[in-house]
Structure 1
Amino acid sequence: MNDLQSAIDAGKAQGKLSLYFGCWERAGHFLHRPGGRKIWHAQRELAGFPWSDSHMDSGLLRNGRRPDVYDGRVFWTCGGLVFWYAFYWWDNSVDRRGASNSGFYVRGFGWPEAQAAFNYACAEFPKVVSRQHHSLVLQKPEPPKPTSGGAL
């Protein structure tokens, strides 16, 4: 079994879970469970959670050199020893200061299932989705096609 399949199996064994990082009704970026309960220490509370607060708090967007433009484009990545998807976007719907962002972090899906995982997160956090000033549009939800040599 390869490392990717092992990570996917670990995520599925822990079950589906969607988390939201961002503002919950007022300024201040925190990680939340559905319903709004804060998670103070994700790495301690969630075995195998792969991202730090600095990654979630605009780090993933900055690492990808995404301009700070609130337009509804949702970028994503995935990984971890326990497989998680990260969906993140610039978000001024609550906090209007620069570099304000939001993200969904989703476990329990396989590869390639980015669109299904994103849809699950949107259903788990309808208030977050409905308050956006722009429709959230997942960018490039399909993985790249392998070339004839097998490389991506």
Structure 2
Amino acid sequence: MDDSSVSRRHLLATLGASSLAGCANQNPLGSETGVRLGTLFVYNRSQETKSVQLQLRRDNAPIYENEIKAAEGYEVIDPSWSTEPAKYSLLWATDDDIGMTSIPGDFSGRDLSADCYSATFYFDNPSVNIHDIEESDEGTC
């Protein structure tokens, strides 16, 4: 993005606001209880360092925001937020893409019975997936 482009932070704010439009009295994520969300991971398979602007929302309120510069491999973001069950949204913006993943809403077809989950952002075909944190060597809840 050049200097005349809209900032990724502004795009995240716009995406967050537009994704919630009309949902004030609805359950936008489709879960009554939510899930526990611990560590966030950012995974870069490329040898080229890449960056992503992340914003984590808990029950529609921002609880974490940062730009992550990721070399090849994983960057680990341990939770500084409460990991009590809730509905989360992970908004992300790279130089080329912008998106949002609702947790647990976008995973409603999966068994969500784990005690706690981690979320991983992948630069390849930008996407987010969640994993049972007990199946990981790293991560806390």
| Fold in common (TM above 0.5) | no
TM-score scaled by length of structure 1: 0.31
TM-score scaled by length of structure 2: 0.32
Query: Which has the larger share of strand?
Result: 2
Query: Which has the larger share of helix?
Result: 1
